[in-house]
Structure 1
Amino acid sequence: MGFKGEQHPGVQPSTDNTAGFCLNHTMLRIKNPDTALAFYSRVFGMQLLRRLDFQEMQFSLYFLANLQGDEEVPEDKEKRTVWTFKQRGLLELTHNWGSEHQKEFSYHDGNAEPQGFGHICFNVPNLEAAEKWFDENNVSFIKRSDQGKMKNVIFVRDVDGYWIEVVQADLLAKLGD
């Protein structure tokens, strides 16, 4: 018998109705796709899997992932679209056309009042090396790995101000109770 999940009040057992459900992506709204795509591709090594434009509604979706070397992504656009929506852990960046030309425009980062959305998170193989990489790329830090009560956890901001947590999984084994 495999792991069935931790128990907590409010947790309900899954049913056959949810068999095969999978979290596919998290979406962030972005002001300028050029700067956001440059940030996520350069600083976090993500690849653009698929861009979908919606002319009538004037917005574009950009689906990004950290692909592993052996993953085969379909070249055909329709097959790649289906493949994209079957993946786990993607980042969708949504650009509402024209926002890049509005000088004072910005999205709520979720951490200012009223709080709501908090952050996305990346696991890295070497937290110290990642921290140096962020410094080399002038990434804005919220918290470095040696600051605060939670050591070995970094928080940075992306170009739209969203918070990104960065961890090295094996350093978190004793986290919490």
Structure 2
Amino acid sequence: MNFKGEQHPGVKMPTGDTLGFRLNHTMLRVKDPELALAFYTRVFGMSVLRRLDFEELGFSLYFLARLEEEEQVPEEKGERTVWTFSQKGLLELTHNWGTEDQADFAYHDGNAEPQGFGHICFSVPNLDAAEAWFDANDVEFIKRADQGKMKDVVFVKDTDGYWIEVVQADRLAALGD
């Protein structure tokens, strides 16, 4: 691997101390796990790799991934837990028990004021087909591929209002400087 990353002010060259570090997952808090799991498994084709319950703390973690056909996932829970925490690009949905029963409860989506967290992103093989799939599944759009100043980028919302960017990689070659 010759490419060492783009250089910009503030970028430091990694040292050997970080060898093997990788981003494992991003966590979103969800009000109702049944609704969130239905959305991510049905609409985005993800699978739940592992659920971890923490009864004394009153919450559950659901680790999801879009598995490839050839991936070999361990069946035994302990081995699958270790395997899960060694993967790249997982989505963790955290459910604090009881929030699903609170009618006025909602998490901040990060895009309302004050802004903070922005979105997660899925890459798809065909953006037009993905838009049609979202329409067929009543997914709420923030922006379609032909709208706004940034074309070929879609934004939809999940069941908790979090934004999801959806892109087709080969349509983004000319993006930015």
Q: TM-score scaled by structure 2?
A: 0.99
Counterpart in 1 of 2:158? 158
Counterpart in 1 of 2:10? 10
AA at the equivalent of 1:11: V
Counterpart in 1 of 2:30? 30
Percent identity over paired residues: 74
Aligned equivalents of 1:167 and 1:121: distance in 2?
8
Aligned equivalents of 1:78 and 1:2: distance in 2?
37
Q: CA deviation at 1:152?
A: 0.5
Aligned equivalents of 1:38 and 1:82: distance in 2?
25
Q: CA deviation at 1:171?
A: 0.2
Aligned equivalents of 1:99 and 1:12: distance in 2?
42
Instruction: Please list every run of 5 or more consecutive structure 1 residues that lacks an aligned counterpart in the other structure.
Output: none
AA at the equivalent of 1:152: D
AA at the equivalent of 1:65: A
Counterpart in 2 of 1:46? 46
Counterpart mapping for 1:72-111 below 5 A: 72-111=72-111
Instruction: Please list every run of 5 or more consecutive structure 2 residues that lacks an aligned counterpart in the other structure.
Output: none
Q: CA deviation at 1:113?
A: 0.6
AA at the equivalent of 1:120: I
Q: CA deviation at 1:129?
A: 0.2
Aligned equivalents of 2:153 and 2:131: distance in 1?
10
Query: CA RMSD, aligned part only?
Result: 0.5
AA at the equivalent of 2:104: E
Aligned residue-pair number: 177
Q: Deviations over 1:62-105 (max 9, x none)?
A: 00000000000000000000000000000000000000000010
Q: CA deviation at 1:33?
A: 0.5
Counterpart in 2 of 1:118? 118
Counterpart in 2 of 1:129? 129
Aligned equivalents of 2:13 and 2:144: distance in 1?
38
